[in-house]
Structures are given as structure tokens and as C-alpha cells.
A and B are shown apart, each in its own frame.
Chain A
Amino acid sequence: MAKHRVMIYGWFERLWHWLQALFIIILMVTGFETHSSYTLFGYETAVRIHEITARAFILLILLAIFWHVTTGEWRQYQPKGERSMVRQGQYYAFGIFKGEDHPYRKSELQKLNPMQKATYLGFKILIVPVMVFTGLIYMYYDWWTSVVPTIGLTILAAIHTIGAFALVIFLIIHVYMTTTGEKPATNITAMITGYEEIEEVPDVEPASV
């Protein structure tokens, strides 16, 4: 079948993705230092970088929410149902070793496979909000405690820490999964250049979102 280069990820989406990646890695490195997992910058500097990056990340999140809503891209994350998930799961568990084709084709209208949809949705509506809210209460703890009763720092810190570990696990799987494209670098190249070689699917109607 014929292939042609299609712009899959627009400039903002790519900027958003890579800034988000950068911020999360900085937050991770400084956050685990704050958690005393190692010493790198020194506690005070680590906290300072962590707080500045957190503020920048929140700004980026607000921009990204605006982008998702105004472009309608939020629809990319609507779950597709259990059966499609199972199919995608079976592919990663078995089909991928037999050289089978990906069960779902990528297009401008459907950038994400069912498992990606579910994972990223969970990332967007669960992990990130939890990290942002616990982080904000943590950062301004003295102010919060003087205004409204908050949960104790023990629980707050525990949730924030568990979220951080969840993000580490997400990052490992996410980076690995990028290698499962046609060639190991296909997906990552697409996220850098925005373009991907996509098989022509005649019956797909032009994008009108």
C-alpha cells in the first residue's frame, strides 16, 4: 500500500510534549533529591529548582488545557472500550513477537492506540492533577494550614511520593514503547519532526474536527 508523509503532531503539541518531558525529568531529579534518595544539587538548590520548575509546569499545563479544548484534540483521549484494549494488549504480549501488524493504524484523527488513550487519559486526569494539587498544598503548606484544615503533611507527602514513583514507572514504559514502532526510532522521530509515514487508507474521510 502507498505511504505518504503526514503531519501528525503540530508544533504546539511537540513543544508541549518535550517541555513536559523536560519539566517532569527535572522535577523527578530534584524531587528524589528532596526525598533524600541521593545528593546532587544540595537540598536547598534542589527544592528551589523543584519549585520553579513546578510553577513553569503548571503554566504549561494551563496552556495545554487551552490547546486541547480549542483544537478538540481532547477527543484523542476518549477511551475506545475494553475489547480494543484487550486486542492491543494481546498484540504487545504475543503478536509483536510474531511480526504481526499493529492492530490499529495511526492517522491524524487517531494518533493513539487504545492502550495509549487509556494510559494518557489516566496520566492527564489522575496523576498530573494529583501531583499538582498535592504539590501546591505542599509548597504553600504554611499558608494552607493557616487558612483551611488540610490533610497532614505525612499523607500529603506519601501521595506525592507515590505519584512520583508512578511517573518513573510511566517514563520507563513510555520510553520503551516508543521503540515498538515500525522501526525503533520511528515514533520518536515523529514526535521530533511532527511527520510520520502513514499508510494510505482510502476510506478515511478528510479531517474535520
Chain B
Amino acid sequence: MASRGRFTQRVLILLALVAAALFVVAAGATGQTETAAQEDESVPVSEQPVSTPRERSDATANHSEFEILQQDFATGPDLTAACLTCHTEAAKQMQATTHWTWDNHFGEGIGKTTQVNNFCIGIQSNEPRCTSCHTGYGWADNTFDFTIEENVDCVVCHDTTSTYKKFPTAAGHPAYEPTEFLGKTWEPPDLTLIAQNVGKTTRETCGSCHFYGGGGEGVKHGDLTKDLFDPPREIDVHMSADGADMTCSDCHRGNNHQINGSSVYMSASDEGGIDLPFDDGDRSTCQSCHGDTPMESRKLNEHADKVACQTCHIPKLARGESYTKAWWDWSTAGKFDANGDPITTFDEAGNVSYTTKKGDFVWERNYIPDYVWFNGIVNATIAGDPVVLNEDGVMELNAYAGSYDDEFSRIYPVKAFRGIQPIDGGNNTIALPHLFGKDDAAYWKSYDWNLALEAGMAVAGADYAAAEGVPYSGEVGWLETVFNEPATHMVAPAEDAVECGACHSRDSVIASIGGFYMPGRDGGAYDWLLWGLVALTLLIVLGHGVMRFASAKRRSS
């Protein structure tokens, strides 16, 4: 296939050269040499500048002309009410998505609402801080009414002015008057201006939450950082202006506000191939555009039955300016300096390495991901689940399922985020601390883990809305955990893909991936014996030669 393609390519190049030669001759004959035209022809199509979707205004409505948007909006919900007068179905659609429910990612009612991680552990009892990234207004605790349409936040996704910002601790609301947070004043956004300029989602709107997951820029995802607002080609070949110049929604498409692609309801393999003209319901995979056999060599295409595209094409995590958090030790939180003031320290790169509120951090950049067998199934842990250790003595909070024998599994790159977090030491179960709040039980108020866990566990539970609490022993314990984030963005240009030898070598980067024989990595166990036989042969041959030479000399003398 590949060689035939190359042959066709050569024939085409030959034809093109002949055509070009004829063109030059013809142009020369008429006395008009169009050098510029020739130069244009020599530029491959892929390198010619293309107009980007964002440059083309294909909107059929100018929102600044709508009468209902000529008003001062006091609150976000007031603005949404205006949107809904025309977009009557939009809020209903949104309320059926995980962007709204933060739930049921797993089809069993488990989602962001109740799942536990090793960043800020869980949202239960901490809602107002966490829901500053909810596509809604007012989710302050588990009594939030998910059916009120005006509480859908339209403009967090559809703002085009870059001026809309949700306040960090206001349960999804923006600041409505100048408000201070961590020494910085947040000005209220001009909701009228924003409403009159709504448009399609952009990298900025998606990135305003997704690049800031885990409480800060680059914290949660090594492949989603602010570098992706305007990445150079080598960081993201799809999103770079020098690459395909794509936006998030070019891959994460969907109808009825249902966006494709989720980090907890994933597909590691996409047998459906190219999604046009028939959408297989899984449109944000590599295969959706590139098909099943995009590589030039047969051998590389054959790898795709066991290796995800991402494994070779995302050589390292956090390849831009931003660092991503790699380690978080909650157990060291709560220290104060001699004056009784909270401590903040920074590492050499200027990243926060310790805060009294959160403990110790390690930040990494441009580092090799971990690799796991993954079939798309992500397991979840919730408060009250028993501690289960893996062979390294660490608990995998969202263990990725998969194995060599499973046809849907691929070797997949992940950011394995590690840390030490508080647990219920008495019951040896996963616990959920109440971190944020103005009450004394909040850890960030009183720095008392026991109070924080007691308060967190009191409102934790598998059924978010009806949570009646989870038993807590009153004894704080500590547990090292790991939480996987898939590495699927920041796809590098083909020339920067992982070299074959990175895996096919004795010190393979996928040394831990078992269940099969891999050339170059395995099979060296008896090399010493075989090379020994080679050495023995050499010795015998040399000895024989020396004896022949010596005996011949003796005979001749």
C-alpha cells in the first residue's frame, strides 16, 4: 500500500515537473514569465495558508441588534433568561449534559459530584469553590436545583469578548461588584456587552475551565495548559496557527450541546474509523479524522491494534511553558512560620512548592508520561470505599482497566498524578475533607483534619442529592494514591513522534507494560550464554590457527 502510494506520488511529481516545464516553455514563448505563480505551485497544499474557521464569520444573527439584549443585566441568571426567550431549548439541552450534571459519567450515577481524586479530593461540602467552573449559577451545596433553566450559564462558553470571568468562590457566579480574592480585585464583567457579542466556543472559553482544572493553571492536566491558547507547531500540531489551527470544538463536536469526548467515559480504540459521512457517536478520536491506517508503513499501522496513537504522537507531557503538578502531599499542610502566619514557598521555576493550606507540591514540565493498558473503562472511587493497594503499595483512585488480551485495550499514555491524602485511618477507608468554607470545620479555616474529615464525611455519599453521610472513625490516616489523567492533547508533529527505540529497547519506556513479547525489550535473558558460545568458537578458531602457524613453522625450520 505504502510503496504503491509512493509510486503514485513519484508519477505525479514527474507529471507535475513535465507540466511545469511545459508551462515555463509556454510562458517564455509568450514573453510572460510568471515566477510568482510557479512558486505558488511548488508549495504543498498542506503548507499553504488556509482561512481559519474563526476568520470566517458565518453567523446569521447579530446579537447586538436584539432588543432584549439592550438592558443592564443584574445577574447571570437574568442574562440567561434573556437568551432563553429565543433559544427555547438550549437550557433543556444543557441540563442533559455532563457539563451540567457533573454526574453519570460512568452510567451508574458516579461522576464529578461524588468521585474522589487526589487534588482537592472531592466536591461534596466544598461546592462553592469547585463550581466556579460549573456551567451554571448557584450550585453551593447538594440542595442545588438542577432543573431551573435560568441557572444555566450560557456565556461562560459563548462569550467572545474575553471579559467574562466566574468568581473563584461564588458557586459559578461572576463578581457583581468589585470583589477581592487572594489580593486581587475581580471587576464585575459587562454582561450587556458580553450578551451582545456571543458566538461560538473558542479555545479561550473552553480553556478558561479546562486549562485551570484542579484549582490553577496546568494543575490537573499535563496536556491541557494555557500553552494551548496559541501553541507553536511543535507543542500542538492541530491547534497551532502554523499547523491545522483547529479549536477545541473541531474535535469535540456534538449536537444539542452534547459534546463528544470525556476523560472519564473514554474510548482507547475507535474501530469506527473516519466519522464522515456516518458518525459512529465517537467523533473526538484520532481515527475520526485520520482513519484506521494513517501511517505510511505497514508495520506502524499494525501497531494500532495494541498501541494508541497518543502513545507515539504525544512524546512528553506539558511540553510548553506551563508546568503541571506531578505530586501533592497533603500531609505536610498546616505549618505556620514563627509569627503564626501561613507559609508559601516557591521552587526554582517560580511554581508554588508549599502552602499552609495545601502542603507540598512538585511541578514537572516536558516529562515522559506513564503508560498503561487501557480499554476506555475508568473506575471510580468515592468516599467510604475501602483502601485497596496495588503492587507498589499505592491506591489507584481511578484505575484504568485493560490488558493485552482485551481487544479494546491499547497501550495508552497517562499523567499519573501522585500524592498523599487524608483518609479515615480507623476504618481504612477513603475520606473526603471539608476544605472550603467560612465555618470552623473547614480545613482552610481551622487547619484541623479531624474536624474537616468529620464535616466532609457528614455530607458525603454515593447519591449526591440525597447523601446522608459516610461513617467516619474520628482517626485521620494518610495514604499514597495515584490518579490518572489521559494524555491525549498536545499532539506533536509527526517528526517529533516517539522513536521506535524508546519502547523497543532494554530500558524501554513501557517496561512495566506486560502480557506480551516485545522485540528489542524482551528476549535478552540468555544472551550471555549465546554470546559465550560465540566467544568460545572464536577462541577455538584462534587456538587452531595459532597451532597451525606454530606447527608449520616448526616443520619448515
Shortest Cβ gap from A81 to chain B (Å): 25
Given contacts A42-B499, A165-B530, A168-B534, contact A158 B541 (CB under 8 A): no
B-contacting residues, A136-180, CB 8 Å: 141-143, 152-154, 157-158, 161-162, 165, 168-169, 172-173, 176, 179-180
Given contacts A172-B538, A176-B544, contact A43 B499 (CB under 8 A): yes
Residue A119 is within 8 A (CB to CB) of chain B in the complex: no
Q: How far is the CA of A172 from the CA of B543 in the complex (A)?
A: 13
Contacts of A39 in B (CB 8 A): 501
Q: Would A152 and B520 count as touching, CB distance under 8 A?
A: no
Contacts of B524 in A (CB 8 A): 35-36
Q: Which of A19-27, A94-102, A123-131, A199-207 contacts B (4 or more CB under 8 A)?
A: A94-102
Contacts of A51 in B (CB 8 A): 299
Given contacts A154-B522, A154-B523, 7 further A-B contacts (CB under 8 A): A35-B527, A36-B506, A36-B521, A37-B527, A42-B501, A43-B505, A152-B517
Given contacts A47-B299, A153-B516, A165-B534, contact A98 B501 (CB under 8 A): no
Given contacts A97-B551, A99-B551, A158-B523, contact A172 B537 (CB under 8 A): yes
Which residues of B are in contact with A by a Cβ distance under 8 Å?
297, 299, 302, 305, 499-501, 504-506, 516-517, 519-524, 527, 530-531, 533-534, 537-538, 541, 544-545, 547-548, 551-552, 555
Q: How far is the CA of A157 from the CA of B522 in the complex (A)?
A: 9
| A-B pairs under 8 A by CB, number | 80
Given contacts A161-B530, A169-B534, A173-B541, contact A35 B520 (CB under 8 A): yes
Given contacts A36-B506, A165-B534, A168-B534, contact A43 B541 (CB under 8 A): no
Cβ 8 A contact of A35, one of B517, B523, B537, B545: B523
Q: How far is the CA of A142 from the CA of B520 in the complex (A)?
A: 17
Cβ 8 A contact of B505, one of A36, A142, A157: A36
Q: Would B522 and A47 count as touching, CB distance under 8 A?
A: no
Q: How many residues of A contact B (CB 8 A)?
A: 34
Q: Would A169 and B555 count as touching, CB distance under 8 A?
A: no
Query: For the complex, would chain A's binding face be called helix, strand, loop or mixed by DSSP majority?
Result: helix
Digitize A35-62: 1 where CB-to-B-CB distance is under 8 Å, 0 elsewhere: 1110100111001100100000000000
Contacts of B519 in A (CB 8 A): 34-35, 153, 157
Q: Would B534 and A157 count as touching, CB distance under 8 A?
A: no
Cβ 8 A contact of A173, one of B505, B506, B527, B537: B537
Q: Would A176 and B523 count as touching, CB distance under 8 A?
A: no
Q: Would A154 and B538 count as touching, CB distance under 8 A?
A: no
Contacts of B541 in A (CB 8 A): 172-173, 176
**Chain B residue with Cβ nearest A96:** B548
Given contacts A165-B533, A168-B534, contact A176 B545 (CB under 8 A): yes
Cβ 8 A contact of B504, one of A43, A97, A99, A143: A43
